[in-house]
Amino acid sequence: MQLLDGKLTAQSIRIELKEAVDKRKASGHKIPHLVAVLIGSDGGSLTYVNAKVKACQEIGFESTLLHYEDISEEGLLQKVNELNEDENVDGFIVQLPLPEHIDELKITKAIDPRKDVDGFHPENIGNMVLNLPGFLPATPAGIVELIRRNGIETSGKDCLVIGRSNIVGTPMSILLARNGEPGNCTVTLTHSRTKDLKEKTRNADIIIAAIGRPEFLTADMVKEGAVVIDVGTTRVPDASKKSGWALKGDVDFERVAPKCSYITPVPGGVGPMTIASLMINTLRAMELNGK
């Protein structure tokens, strides 16, 4: 079993990005500026947004965190429009989930696709489906990069995705099925209505677990030699931790890992790769906008 170390892979991406930024600075160019918008005080979202800001600082990007305890939908739409117009902002994200009184799709559609470094705008999703240039959603793109940089063969493999969310499961199934490297998988996208899930997971060469149910994927569901990617990050109570909680993935890591050829840990697997992808998208946003 080999650990797919997202922390290490993300670190090497950050080093490459820092070199690119340093070069730009040395030649008198602007540095990329990422803005993150956070509404409310959900602990998980706050942690992720802080990690995004910290990654910017490490690489030498400019970053701004706009944190609102509460805001109306109208107010947020206005902020999005300001960010769209702001020449000093290369890319921005609105951290999800949003409070119930705000329509997520309305906000996502209001973001200028050229600044949509999360890759959630319908125009970017459309470009992804058609294999045209655009921004790829950060988590699936990070997983593809993790697979690529660790030399894992995907062509012709049977890949099973658990969970059909707009930001992970669905785009993941598209990226791994498309004609590319990595890619060329035969993908099965499974969800709550799927019949005989265990039979399907047991036949898969690559499993992407993205449902947000701690330790859902158990050892009896995995075949020998499978590649297992765990996207889950649920906080569960843990009295042994200072914070009082621990992060749990969707995979029963301890029992599944011995059967795998490769497996990602939680934390330290997909999470850091999501952030690295966002940084890659931000640098590209600046370049694409001709700065």
Given the rule CB under 6 A, which residues bind ligand GUN? 93-96, 118, 138-139, 167, 274
Q: Are strands 206-209 and 245-248 parallel, antiparallel or unpaired?
A: unpaired
Task: Tabulate helix, strand, coil % of the chain (nearest 5).
Answer: 45, 20, 40
Question: What are the C-alpha distances in Å from 161 to residues 7, 37, 68, 126?
Answer: 22, 29, 34, 20
Q: Which residues have CB under 8 Å from 140's CB, separation 6+?
A: 168, 171, 172, 175
CA torsion through residues 20, 94, 78, 170, sign: positive
Q: How far is the CB of 155 from ligand GUN (least distance, A)?
A: 27
52 is catalytic: yes
Nearer to ligand GUN, 138 or 174 (CB): 138
By beta-carbon proximity to ligand GUN, the closer residue of 93 and 208 is: 93
How far apart, in Å, are the Cα atoms of 120 and each of 26, 95, 160, 204, 282?
A: 33, 11, 22, 28, 14
- Tell the smallest beta-carbon distance from residue 115 to ligand GUN (Å): 13
For residue 91, the minimal CB distance to ligand GUN (Å) is 11
Task: Indicate the residue among 162 and 257 with the shorter CB distance to ligand GUN.
Answer: 162
Closest approach of ligand GUN to the CB of residue 186, in Å: 26
> Which position's Cβ is nearest ligand GUN?
96
95 is catalytic: yes
Query: What number of CA atoms fall less than 13 Å from residue 76's CA on the CB side?
Result: 28
Least Å from the CB of residue 151 to ligand GUN: 25
Q: How far apart are CA 181 and CA 155, in angstroms?
A: 8
Identify which of residues 180 and 212 has a Cβ nearer to ligand GUN in the complex. 212
Distance CA 210, CA 173 (A): 11
Instruction: Check 90, 112, 116, 118 and give the catalytic one.
Output: 118
Nearer to ligand GUN, 212 or 255 (CB): 212
Q: How many CB atoms lie within 10 A of CB 87?
A: 9
Catalytic residue among 95, 116, 205, 248: 95
Cβ atoms within 10 Å, residue 174: 19
By annotation, the residues acting in catalysis are 52, 95, 118
